[in-house]
């Protein structure tokens, strides 16, 4: 069927779609900007709004049986949200390490490595929030082909400050937050396939045609996100995002020109017919000459906006005639940055060290969240804060600490700090590493365990941006897996033999006694 | 049939009371052993020393193999090309300019960091300063970290080159080509997204000191005499490190140096991977001596025997070199500093020659090695950590070399136990005939003597740590010799005890000394085999044959001999200086070990000769 | 009156039996199955076991091409080869040196991946004893008319298969799991294919009916990898699976090729080991069993003029 014919059929069916119970609006947008180190950051955003809907209430979620006639809103997701009465949910699957110094703040906040899932669910249902959390994890694991089922109580916490909801329905009394992250999770085509299936136009038309897995998963950093939230004025919104940082300088290091064909190896052939708006927003460089091809439909405040619906086949390219040279000074794109490391090289203990740098002229209040698995024990009494070698414990304002329970519960450690202007705060804390049971080791036990990224939030006023520190690797003491029983038996035999012999030699003496017959 | 069975039964299960028979059998066995202790002892010594001599032989070892399946060495195409070689040449010119302009370490390090930044790799420098009694050492390291794309940055591998090469280190021969290889590699490796670990490039200042400062800062370990900047850039956990040492213009062979600080060795799979990868391109040897015949083999030897002798000659050189590096505890290069952090590392030394290989061959081999270590998904844990490489493709497993030192220590233990049990009995002859009577063995005075020798050793060591000692080495070593020589002479004045009631102290001291030395050797075999073997050779027979006599000149003569064995090391001044430098800056235990363990042991044997019999 | 009733009953019965004949004939000409399921398991992790993942993905592609939809395929991959940071070609898994065919493609669903591929999960999937929270696409929802194709690959030995290098499943475990399937009416016929070292020992313990099994090598024989790709740096496929997939390239949805043809194609010299077949538990003769009965998702439809 040629495109014109397809459009005809769509336009016939569109009014029918409108006749469904809720009005559904689908928008898509692609933001592209070039970064100072020559890389290209792109963010795909696909938003479907179920106008006028409100999140399912926990009291009667399982008995609610109203038919869900969705045409654009993904049905599989809608069923999951209803089943587990989820008000707000965010799932991100990322690979790579986001470099805040070079790339600034991301368009979407959730850039922690691996899988991160957090959800606000209302209390008061027949099933508890934890049971629904479990069901939600498994359902999403099935939907996205990810191992989210492992986000169990060993990794789940309820942090209080970091993950504020957008808006919570006032029909339910209280909502609870559940948050878990799995830094060792991979992202691959099997996660992208269901992601695309949740879009109305799949990857056949519109901006989603650019999502070529062979290029996306070659990017320096890539991650997808699913964000479900309730906008009180509009309705339930499902936003699917995909962010990448691509490097046009990787094969050759002279020019930072990029185009859709060079970055994604795809071009947009036609627009998605059911999209209300479909835009490509390119941040234009300033101070250097450039050429952009084709001419944008609109240039607004340093951004070139292309309307995909209006233009035909589209391949945007940006060309810098003056070439590119790497900067020889350290880049610092954000005024606040974080560096977290785990010092120590034994399998017994170590030291967690966090450096927080504030380049602004005024002090900054931040909240710092650590959700460690129980294998790392933090020793709070060794917590020290130093600025330029001077101990400054007054900068610590609040500590929330839920200690871990070995083999069952994760640590929740949350503190509020103030960092003075133009200074670097160094936070250190001693830790010990647990000795695991023989069966608790993962299959690649000699590699170690990934510790989830720490989350930092600036508490001053403006929209809270979350900053993620990279994941850390900690290696714990491992037994000899190849022959555990041999080792135990051999050691015990040796000790028994040595002890027995020495003891006998020291205490036993044989004397021949004649026995009178 | 029946007759055979009855005869066998008579041997293995004779008639009579079983418990009594068991006792008798045990008695017979024990007495058979105790009567022949001397025979057992000397045969153990003989077998032990012969075994040590046989270590380099072909029959004892086996060929190398790759145990860790994940490595898959040499299976991958390499893409290093002549453009990268040209880049390396350009860096070399720049470095030679820095050398000719006598640039300071700080300028050099910041130039190198700027070069890394020009390639788009975040880089930084680190200043450090060691203060020790041997002198202060300071410098600046330059390092850069490629954050590999697509990875979470939790793991890292290091490629390093020290500014000073190991060849002629005292005169400061530079490792310019090694550093330019590292720079060229940085530009090359950045182009690929197939690295699963972050790659850290380190150009350390000096030879060993720079890397020590860098590693301590990376792992957050503080050393009291080190002031070093904190590292501005860090990456994940380091698992493997590759150090490049390329001092000459071209090279003909690649030498592997692998011994680490305090006798640790890297996982053997890493070395075997290099041998496997390079085997078609560049011949790989261990250390830097080639297989040149030293012995003049008489012409009447048959050819097969001639080959055996030649191989033995070459391999014995390798083994001696290994013992020298490992026993000293200093390791054989910069890579030795990594092992204490559980990082497997070795140095690739390009043996200077007039050809035929240069940057091109080296780059291919390094790229392939990096691809191999990149394949690791877990730390190296499978293969062998205790081995002796006799040739690049031949090695000895622990079971093939460990028993040699153990046998000697067992022989010493038997000797000590025999002396101990002999000292409990004395033959006394009176009118009725000669009988054996038991006598007392006062242990406490002997222990006091032993303890005081160790205290003496500790104080000698404390003395060596002062700067006065280093600066006036000749006089101070003479003073120490005099001190240690005269203080034990007070043993001459110990009153002679009645040999019929109390065992002579010299015998007891010898017994305890032998047992203690045997224990020390046994324990050291698993920590640092070369040190244990050296101890076994130096202490084995001398301690066994120490005996007192009634003639004073003989006693003094023996005392003098043992004293020279104990303190003979005072004459090697360069060695003392470097051992103290190693201890203070690198944490090598050789210096304290010699002062606190070895010298007192020999002194105890010396005192045993002095004490009246 | 009674005669009329009797005649009516006879007529009805004969009509019914005639229809039964037609219906019975329809079903007996082929297998009794109405749907197909496939369970493809790669049980070894790590980058150097790329070839095991390529084995499973090659089978996945074949099975999808021949018509089994993703909803009926359970694919278990113990590690991520396509997006592994060591992979020079991200998002792709190749099965031959020279990289002609990308097995990963752009439309793939992996149901169990990474640490989830365990012996416990495999047996739960096979026997259907899954927790209620496990979603549909992770369940083997086969019924009494399903033909199930089970393919396993990894490192194995005499009557065991290693999962993730730290646990093992034995031939007895699989045999018992299949017996549970039979008792619960979870399969009509089952085709078991395994490619590991000493593979034929793995099916020696089966005792449930209607199982056809084949393996790549017999006792004390190793199964070898095919060839190394010098850009990827590891072996990309095993010999046995390579030759089986090569044979399958000639099969399409309408092929009538039988299992006997496939087994006759086995060449121990090329495969470098002795593949085996076990058909004593299988009731139909092998030359009447089509390959698409197990590997294809073909629903048989016949147009009939009679009204039934």
Q: By percentage, how much of chain B surpasses pLDDT 90?
A: 60
Q: Report how far apart, in Å, the C-alpha atoms of A338 and of each of A108, B17, B150, B448, C208 are.
A: 18, 82, 20, 58, 61
Distance from C-alpha of B589 to C-alpha of B332, rounded to nearest angstrom: 15
Q: Residues B41, B44, B50, B56: is their CA dihedral positive or negative?
A: negative
Question: Which A residues, 387 through 426, put their C-beta within 8 Å of a C-beta on chain C?
Answer: none
Q: Which residue of B24, B152, B229, B340 is the best one to mutate when testing the A interface, meaning the one whose CB has the most A CBs within 10 A?
A: B152
Given a cut of 70, whether residue A14 has pLDDT beyond it is no
ipTM of predicted complex: 0.90
C155 is catalytic: yes
Distance from C-alpha of A21 to C-alpha of A324, rounded to nearest angstrom: 54
Q: Under a CB-based contact definition with an 8 Å cutoff, are residues A57 and A123 in contact?
A: no
- Beta bridge partners of residue C211, listed in sequence order: C190
What are the tens digits of pLDDT across the range B534-550? 999 999 888 888 877 77
Residue with tokens 């081995």: B387
**pLDDT at residue C280 in the model:** 93
What are the tens digits of pLDDT across the range B108-155? 999 999 999 999 999 999 999 999 888 899 999 999 999 999 999 999
**pLDDT at residue B321 in the model:** 93
Confidence of residue C308 (pLDDT cuts 50, 70, 90): low
Judged by a CB distance cut-off of 8 A, whether residue B154 touches chain C is: no
Confidence of residue A20 (pLDDT cuts 50, 70, 90): very low
What are the tens digits of pLDDT across the range B47-71? 999 999 999 988 888 999 998 888 9
Mean pLDDT over B358-382 rounds to 92
Confidence of residue B368 (pLDDT cuts 50, 70, 90): very high
What are the tens digits of pLDDT across the range C77-87? 999 999 999 99
Interface chains of chain B (3 or more CB pairs under 8 Å): A, C
Strands, E assignment, A149-290? 156-157, 175-182, 221-231, 235-246, 258-259, 277-283
Given a cut of 70, whether residue A28 has pLDDT beyond it is yes
**pLDDT at residue C26 in the model:** 55
Mean pLDDT over B258-282 rounds to 93
- Of A366, A468, A466, A451, whose CA–CA distance to A410 is shortest? A451
Confidence of residue A16 (pLDDT cuts 50, 70, 90): very low
Confidence of residue A493 (pLDDT cuts 50, 70, 90): very high
Rg value, chain C, Cα? 21
- Beta bridge partners of residue A314, listed in sequence order: A268
Of B152, B221, B342, the CB nearest to A97: B152
What lies within 8 Å, CB to CB, of B217 at 6+ separation is B126, B128, B228, B229, B230, B231
**pLDDT at residue A167 in the model:** 75
**pLDDT at residue A17 in the model:** 43
Specify the range with the lowest mean pLDDT, choosing from A55-64, A432-441, B159-168. A55-64
Please give the structure tokens belonging to residue B214: 């860098």
Which entry of C33, C52, C197, C242 is annotated as an active-site residue?
C197
Domain ranges of chain C: 33-295
What are the tens digits of pLDDT across the range A274-317? 999 999 999 999 888 899 988 888 898 989 999 998 888 889 99
* Domain(s) of CATH 3.40.630.10: residues in chain B: 67-288+330-392
Q: B356: distance to nearest CA of chain A, Å?
A: 31
Q: Under a CB-based contact definition with an 8 Å cutoff, are residues B611 and B506 in contact?
A: yes
In B, minimum Cα distance to C49 occurs at B70
What are the tens digits of pLDDT across the range C115-170? 999 999 999 999 999 988 899 889 999 999 899 999 999 999 999 999 998 899 99
In A, minimum Cα distance to C87 occurs at A218
Question: Which B residues, 188 through 207, put their C-beta within 8 Å of a C-beta on chain C?
Answer: 192-196
Residue with tokens 């990082």: B343
| Beta strands C112-113 and C73-77, pairing class | parallel
B117 with A326: Cβ contact below 8 A: yes
In B, minimum Cα distance to C84 occurs at B196
**pLDDT at residue B171 in the model:** 74
- Beta bridge partners of residue C169, listed in sequence order: C161
Mean pLDDT over B161-184 rounds to 88
Domains of chain A plus CATH, in order, are 23-319 (no CATH), 336-474 (2.60.40.740)
Mean pLDDT over A56-68 rounds to 66
Angle at which helix B176-189 crosses helix B82-100, to 10 degrees, equals 140
Residues in B touching A95 (Cβ below 8 Å)? 150-152
**pLDDT at residue C12 in the model:** 75
Q: Residues C111, C115, C116, C121: is their CA dihedral positive or negative?
A: positive
**pLDDT at residue B13 in the model:** 73
C133 with A134: Cβ contact below 8 A: yes
B120 with A220: Cβ contact below 8 A: no
B552: left (phi over 0), alpha (psi -120 to 50) or beta: alpha
Judged by a CB distance cut-off of 8 A, whether residue B364 touches chain C is: no
Please give the structure tokens belonging to residue C31: 């297998």
Q: Which CATH class is domain C33-295?
A: alpha beta
What secondary structure does DSSP assign to A172-198, as a single string? SS-EEEEEEEETT----HHHHHHHHHT
Q: Which CATH class is domain B67-288+330-392?
A: alpha beta
Strands, E assignment, C202-286? 211-215, 228-229, 234-235, 276-278
Please give the structure tokens belonging to residue B428: 């006394």
CB atoms inside a 10 Å sphere around CB C264: 11
What are the tens digits of pLDDT across the range B556-594? 888 889 988 888 888 888 888 889 999 999 999 999 999
Residues in C touching A441 (Cβ below 8 Å)? 166
What secondary structure does DSSP assign to B472-536, as a single string? THHHHHHHHHHHHHHGGGGGGGSPPPPTTTB--HHHHHHHHHHHHHHHHHHHHHHH-HHHHHHHH
Distance from C-alpha of A229 to C-alpha of A220, rounded to nearest angstrom: 29
| Beta strands B155-162 and B237-245, pairing class | parallel
Given a cut of 60, whether residue A1 has pLDDT beyond it is no
- Beta bridge partners of residue A349, listed in sequence order: A432
Mean pLDDT over A495-515 rounds to 88
Mean pLDDT over A234-246 rounds to 93
**pLDDT at residue B275 in the model:** 94
A190 with C110: Cβ contact below 8 A: yes
In B, minimum Cα distance to C87 occurs at B194
Verify cis geometry, omega within 30 degrees of 0, for the bond prior to B194. Answer: no
Determine the distance from the C-alpha atom of residue B242 to the mean position of all C-alpha atoms in its chain, rounded to a whole number: 20
Please give the structure tokens belonging to residue B222: 């503080």
* Structure letter (DSSP) for residue B236: S
Given a cut of 80, whether residue C20 has pLDDT beyond it is no
User: Mean pLDDT for chain C?
Assistant: 89
Q: B4: distance to nearest CA of chain A, Å?
A: 33
Residue with tokens 């003056």: A322
Of B150, B378, B381, the CB nearest to A96: B150
Q: Which residue of A113, A153, A183, A189 is the best one to mutate when testing the C interface, meaning the one whose CB has the most C CBs within 10 A?
A: A189
Specify the range with the lowest mean pLDDT, choosing from A13-22, A100-109, B247-256, B317-326. A13-22
Given a cut of 70, whether residue C21 has pLDDT beyond it is no
Q: Give the 3-state secondary structure of residue C69.
A: coil
**pLDDT at residue B340 in the model:** 92
What are the tens digits of pLDDT across the range A152-187? 888 999 997 888 887 776 666 688 899 999 999 999
**pLDDT at residue A18 in the model:** 43
In A, minimum Cα distance to C108 occurs at A190
User: Mean pLDDT for chain B?
Assistant: 90
Given a cut of 80, whether residue A8 has pLDDT beyond it is no
Q: C99: distance to nearest CA of chain A, Å?
A: 14
**pLDDT at residue A461 in the model:** 62
Please give the structure tokens belonging to residue B142: 């330059």
Given a cut of 80, whether residue B46 has pLDDT beyond it is yes
């Amino acid at each position: 069927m040629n495109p014109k014919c397809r459009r005809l059929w769509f336009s016939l069916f569109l009014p029918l779609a409108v006749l469904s119970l809720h009005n559904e609006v689908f928008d898509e947008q692609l933001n592209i900007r070039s970064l100072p180190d020559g890389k290209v950051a792109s963010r795909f955003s696909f938003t479907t709004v179920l106008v006028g809907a409100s999140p399912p209430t926990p009291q009667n979620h399982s008995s609610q049986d109203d038919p869900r006639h969705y045409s654009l809103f993904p049905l599989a997701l809608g069923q999951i949200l209803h089943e587990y009465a989820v008000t707000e949910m965010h799932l991100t699957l990322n690979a790579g390490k986001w470099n805040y110094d070079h790339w600034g703040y991301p368009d979407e906040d959730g850039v922690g490595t691996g899988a991160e899932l957090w959800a606000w669910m209302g209390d008061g249902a027949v099933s508890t929030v934890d049971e629904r959390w479990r069901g939600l994890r498994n359902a999403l694991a099935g939907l996205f082909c990810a191992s989210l089922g492992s986000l169990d109580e060993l990794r789940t916490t309820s942090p209080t400050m970091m993950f504020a909801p957008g808006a919570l329905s006032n029909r339910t009394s209280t909502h609870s937050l559940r948050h878990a992250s799995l830094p060792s999770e991979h992202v691959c085509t099997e996660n992208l396939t269901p992601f695309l299936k949740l879009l109305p136009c799949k990857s056949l038309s519109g901006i989603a045609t650019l999502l070529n897995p062979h290029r996306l998963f070659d990017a320096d950093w890539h991650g997808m996100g699913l964000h479900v939230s309730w906008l009180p004025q509009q309705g339930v919104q499902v936003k699917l995002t995909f962010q990448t940082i691509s490097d046009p300088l990787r094969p050759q290091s002279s020019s930072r020109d990029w185009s859709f064909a060079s970055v994604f190896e795809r071009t947009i052939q036609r627009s998605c017919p059911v999209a209300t708006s479909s835009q490509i927003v390119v941040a234009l460089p300033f101070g250097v000459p450039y050429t952009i091809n084709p001419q944008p439909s609109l240039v607004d405040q340093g951004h070139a906006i292309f309307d995909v619906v209006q233009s035909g086949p589209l391949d945007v390219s940006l060309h810098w005639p003056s070439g590119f040279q790497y900067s020889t000074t350290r880049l610092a794109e954000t005024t606040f940055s974080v560096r977290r490391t785990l010092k120590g090289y034994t399998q017994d203990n170590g030291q967690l060290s966090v450096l927080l740098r504030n380049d602004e002229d005024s002090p900054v209040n931040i909240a710092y969240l650590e959700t460690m698995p129980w294998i790392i024990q933090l020793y709070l009494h060794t917590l020290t804060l130093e600025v330029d070698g001077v101990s400054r414990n007054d900068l610590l304002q609040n500590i929330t600490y839920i200690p871990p329970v070995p083999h069952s519960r994760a640590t929740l450690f949350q503190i509020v700090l103030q960092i003075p202007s133009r200074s670097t705060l160094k936070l250190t804390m001693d830790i010990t590493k647990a000795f695991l049971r023989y069966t608790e080791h993962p299959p690649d036990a000699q590699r170690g365990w990934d510790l989830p990224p720490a989350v930092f939030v600036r508490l001053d006023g403006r929209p809270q941006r979350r900053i993620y520190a990279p994941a850390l690797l900690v290696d714990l003491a491992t037994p000899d897996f190849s022959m555990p029983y041999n080792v135990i038996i051999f050691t015990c035999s040796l000790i028994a033999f040595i002890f027995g012999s020495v003891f006998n030699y020291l205490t036993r003496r044989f004397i021949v006694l004649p026995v009178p017959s | 049939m029946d007759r055979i069975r009855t005869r066998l039964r008579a041997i293995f299960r004779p008639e009579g009371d079983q418990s009594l028979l068991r006792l008798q059998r045990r008695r017979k066995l024990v007495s058979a052993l105790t009567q022949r202790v001397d025979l057992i002892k000397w045969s153990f010594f003989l077998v032990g020393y012969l075994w040590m001599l046989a270590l380099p032989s072909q029959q004892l070892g086996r060929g190398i193999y790759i145990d860790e399946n994940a490595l898959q060495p040499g299976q991958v195409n390499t893409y290093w090309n002549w453009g990268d070689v040209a880049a390396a040449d350009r860096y070399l010119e720049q470095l030679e300019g820095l050398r000719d302009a006598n640039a300071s370490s700080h300028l050099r390090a910041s130039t190198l960091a700027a070069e890394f930044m020009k390639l788009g790799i975040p880089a930084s420098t680190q200043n450090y300063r060691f203060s020790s009694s041997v002198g202060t050492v300071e410098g600046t390291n330059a390092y850069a970290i490629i954050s590999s794309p697509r990875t979470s940055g939790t793991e890292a591998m290091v490629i390093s080159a020290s500014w000073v090469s190991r060849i002629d280190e005292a005169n400061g021969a530079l490792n310019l080509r090694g550093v330019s290889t590292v720079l060229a590699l940085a530009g090359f490796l950045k182009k690929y997204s197939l690295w699963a670990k972050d790659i850290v490039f380190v150009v350390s200042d000096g030879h060993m000191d720079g890397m020590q400062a860098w590693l301590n800062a990376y792992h957050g370990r503080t050393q009291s005499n080190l002031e070093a900047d904190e590292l501005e850039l860090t990456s994940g956990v380091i698992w493997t490190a590759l150090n490049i040492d390329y001092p000459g213009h071209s090279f003909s062979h690649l030498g592997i140096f692998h011994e680490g600080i305090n006798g640790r060795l890297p996982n053997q799979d890493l070395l075997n991977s290099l041998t496997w990868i390079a085997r078609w391109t560049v011949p790989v040897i261990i250390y830097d001596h080639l297989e040149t015949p030293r012995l003049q083999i008489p012409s009447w030897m048959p050819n097969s025997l001639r080959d055996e002798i030649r191989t033995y000659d070459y391999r014995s050189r390798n083994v001696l070199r290994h013992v020298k590096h490992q026993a000293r505890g200093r390791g054989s290069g910069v890579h030795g500093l990594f092992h204490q952090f559980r990082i497997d590392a070795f140095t690739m030394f390009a043996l200077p020659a007039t050809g035929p290989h240069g940057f091109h061959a080296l780059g291919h081999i390094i790229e392939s090695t990096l691809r191999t270590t990149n394949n690791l998904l877990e730390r190296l844990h499978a293969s062998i950590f205790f081995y002796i490489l006799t040739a690049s493709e031949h090695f000895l497993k622990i079971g093939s070399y460990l028993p040699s030192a153990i046998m000697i220590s067992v022989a010493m233990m038997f000797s000590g136990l025999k002396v101990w049990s002999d000292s409990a009995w004395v033959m006394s002859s009176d009118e009725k005939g000669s009988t054996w009577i038991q006598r007392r063995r006062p242990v406490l005075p002997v222990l006091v003597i032993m303890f005081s020798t160790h205290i003496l050793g500790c104080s000698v060591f404390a003395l060596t740590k002062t700067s006065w000692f280093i600066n006036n080495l000749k006089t101070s070593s003479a003073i120490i010799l005099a001190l240690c020589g005269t203080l034990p002479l007070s043993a001459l004045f110990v009153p002679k005890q009645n040999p019929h009631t109390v065992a002579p102290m010299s015998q007891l001291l010898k017994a305890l000394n032998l047992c203690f030395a045997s224990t020390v050797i046994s324990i050291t075999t698993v920590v640092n085999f070369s040190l244990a073997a050296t101890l076994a050779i130096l202490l084995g027979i001398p301690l066994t044959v120490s005996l007192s006599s009634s003639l004073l000149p003989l006693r003094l003569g023996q005392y003098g001999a043992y004293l020279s064995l104990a303190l003979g090391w005072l004459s090697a001044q360069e060695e003392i200086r470097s051992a103290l430098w190693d201890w203070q800056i690198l944490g090598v235990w050789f210096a304290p070990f010699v002062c606190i363990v070895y010298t007192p042991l020999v002194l105890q044997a010396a005192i045993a000769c002095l004490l009246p019999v | 009156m009674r005669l009329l009733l009797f005649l009516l009953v006879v007529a009805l019965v004969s009509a019914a039996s005639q229809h039964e004949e037609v219906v019975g004939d329809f079903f007996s000409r082929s297998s009794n199955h109405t749907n197909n399921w496939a369970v493809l398991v790669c049980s070894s992790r790590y980058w150097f076991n790329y070839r095991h993942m390529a084995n499973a993905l090659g089978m996945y592609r074949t099975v999808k091409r021949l018509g089994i939809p993703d909803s009926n395929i359970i694919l278990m991959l113990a590690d991520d080869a396509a997006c592994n940071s060591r992979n020079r070609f991200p998002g792709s898994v190749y099965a031959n040196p020279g990289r002609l065919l990308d097995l990963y493609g752009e439309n793939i669903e992996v149901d169990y991946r990474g640490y989830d591929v365990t012996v416990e999960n495999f047996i739960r999937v096979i026997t259907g004893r899954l927790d209620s929270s496990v979603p549909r696409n992770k369940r083997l929802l086969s019924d009494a008319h399903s033909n199930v194709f089970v393919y396993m690959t990894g490192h194995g030995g005499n009557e065991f298969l290693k999962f993730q290098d730290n646990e093992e499943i034995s031939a007895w475990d699989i045999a018992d799991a299949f017996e549970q399937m039979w008792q619960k009416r979870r399969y009509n016929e089952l085709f078991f294919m395994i490619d590991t070292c000493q593979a034929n020992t793995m099916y020696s313990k089966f005792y449930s009916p209607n199982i056809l099994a084949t393996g790549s090598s017999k006792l004390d024989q190793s199964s070898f990898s095919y060839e190394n790709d010098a850009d990827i740096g590891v072996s990309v496929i095993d010999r046995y699976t390579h030759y089986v997939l090569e044979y399958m390239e000639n099969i399409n949805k309408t092929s009538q090729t039988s299992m006997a043809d496939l087994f006759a194609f086995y060449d121990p010299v090329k495969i470098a080991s002795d593949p085996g077949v076990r058909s004593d538990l299988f009731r139909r003769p092998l030359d009447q069993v089509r390959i698409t009965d197990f590997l294809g998702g073909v629903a048989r439809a016949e147009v009939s003029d009679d009204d039934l």
